[in-house]
Amino acid sequence: MKNNFLSYSKKQLGNGLKNIYSNKVVLMFLILCIFGIATTGKPLIFTVSEVFTRFGRNTFLVIALIIPVLAGLGLNFGIVVGAMAAQISIFFVVYWGFTGITGLILCVLLSTPIAILFGFLVGWLYNKTKGAEMISGMVLAYFADGLYQLFFLFILGGIIPIKDTTLMIAGGIGVKNTIDLTGNLKYALDTVSMLLLLRILLVLYFVFSAANVILRKKKEGKSGYKLSIIKISVTILLLLLTLIPAIRDFLGTDRLLLLNAITIGCVLAILYVITKICSIKLIQKHKELEVNKYLAMIIIAIIVYALTYIPVVFDITMSISLPVCTYAAIILICGFNRWLLSTKLGQNMRTVGQSRTVANSAGINVNKTRIIAMCISTVLASWGQLIYLQNLGTFSTYGAHSMVGLYAIAALLVGGAGVQMANNKQAILGVILFHTLFVVAPLSASNLLGSSLIGEYFRVFICYGVIALSLALHAWKTIKKPAKQKELK
């Protein structure tokens, strides 16, 4: 009995050490962030506020990398061309004088087909350079940057007449280095109210459910569409509830206090878990492990809410307001990734990413699947760049896209992702750790060493270093795996 216990303990210890080793990059950044926060000389509330701002601004771009990674395209430096598509659309929307959410929607409509075209061309190139996608993407980004600068420095004003002199360099040929988005697209998404967002989502869901009822009635008669009728009734009820003055006033703002967001999130999580547990009890008997997992989620939700009663945490949650629509966009892209990977196309992408030989044997069109994955990533990157620039409020014409790929890839790797594996959780964790270090490094260096430049150099070194380390480890594993297979033979 004693020997069994010792062997079990050794096994658990071995698994724990293995998990720690596999997450060494995450742990290293966590330690650096904690040290940096402790030595900034600034109150904690300052750091947390900056991280939340950067999180809303950058996360969409980072999550846009996940699909090509899983499809075997590696770390997609090609998202830079998606950012270029967004910036081309921003220039013309500002030039035409559209503002607010209308201008942002027009940017989306303009940038999407451009990004699809760019994504198709990048995917085509990657299919010609299989096995060297990352270096191809990096070189392509430089090449595309040259064409982009040619377009903005010579074609606009030189070939395409631009009458608005406030956007052009003196002489009328070439666009200015910086375009101020104040008064047109600045905070266009951030200032969309919760009420408007909720009503749009409910109306879309109502239309979808109504169409589903009509189709079911035509195909199946009266059976099979009762659930859709219930959903439509609930949707109408929720729309009517938004007319109640107290609810309308609460939802009428474009910002949600962090404390309220945590409370709503915990309540929704608990309700979701209770629903899941009930369904398991009714449908899937003898699933104790599933029930225990959901009970653990309830305990975590309660603990998270209880932490808000700590004075320091309470002060932070009361001082930070989140742009609801921007965070809703992040939730939607996370949901989109999960949904896509559960479809046949998503499974094909996973198969292609794991082994192109197996995918070919299974009858999957590898080249087509890779191009689709690249187009999706490029379109998402263009939308992410729109979110980034509308929040920043300034459009650096020739530099806004230059570091998009580098910073997004570094953030994804910091979260524990690799060249062939990434998920939403790793992307979110990576953004938090990476941008926390970006906030605290200059302040910590200035406080400890008297020069904030050292912190700037350090975080740039970390950015390149984490990418180089990940590529080196990937190359080492690629060489080591065939060697092990030969030994086994």
Question: Average of pLDDT values for 308-320?
Answer: 88
pLDDT at 126 over 50: yes
Question: Average of pLDDT values for 190-219?
Answer: 77
Question: Average of pLDDT values for 105-110?
Answer: 94
User: φ and ψ at 400, to 5 degrees?
Assistant: -65, -30
Question: Average of pLDDT values for 131-159?
Answer: 86
Q: How many domains does the chain have?
A: 1
Residue 6 forms part of a structural domain: no
Look at residues 232, 237, 226, 238 and name the one whose alpha carbon lies nearest to residue 208. Answer: 232
Residue 214 forms part of a structural domain: no
The model's pTM is 0.86
Question: Average of pLDDT values for 388-413?
Answer: 87
Residue 156 forms part of a structural domain: yes
Lowest mean pLDDT, pick from 99-103, 207-211, 220-224, 293-297: 220-224
Task: Please say whether the beta carbons of 404 and 80 come within 8 A.
Answer: yes
What does pLDDT average to over the chain?
Answer: 81
pLDDT digits (tens, 9 = 90+) for 411-421: 888 888 877 78
Range of the domain at 112: 29-192+254-488
pLDDT digits (tens, 9 = 90+) for 52-87: 999 999 999 999 989 988 888 877 777 889 999 999
Q: What is the pLDDT of residue 8?
A: 44
Residue 246 forms part of a structural domain: no
Q: Which residue has the higher pLDDT, 279 or 156?
A: 156
Q: Which residue has the higher pLDDT, 30 or 461?
A: 30
Alpha helices in 343-420 (DSSP H): 344-354, 356-361, 366-392, 404-414
> Which token pair is 376?
């999706």
Q: Which residue has the higher pLDDT, 333 or 39?
A: 333
Integer CA distances (angstroms), 15 to 6, 206, 362, 415, in order: 14, 49, 35, 20
Q: What is the pLDDT of residue 201?
A: 82
Residue 229 forms part of a structural domain: no
Q: Which residue has the higher pLDDT, 283 or 400?
A: 400
pLDDT band at 474 (very low <50, low <70, confident <90, very high): low
pLDDT at 482 over 80: no
pLDDT at 116 over 90: yes
Helix (H, G, I), strand (E, B) or coil at 394: strand
Q: Which residue has the higher pLDDT, 229 or 321?
A: 321
Task: Please say whether the beta carbons of 52 and 404 come within 8 A.
Answer: no
Residue 200 forms part of a structural domain: no
Residue 226 forms part of a structural domain: no
pLDDT band at 452 (very low <50, low <70, confident <90, very high): low
pLDDT at 105 over 70: yes
> Which token pair is 107?
């940017």
Residue 248 forms part of a structural domain: no
Q: What is the pLDDT of residue 402?
A: 82
Q: What is the pLDDT of residue 223?
A: 47
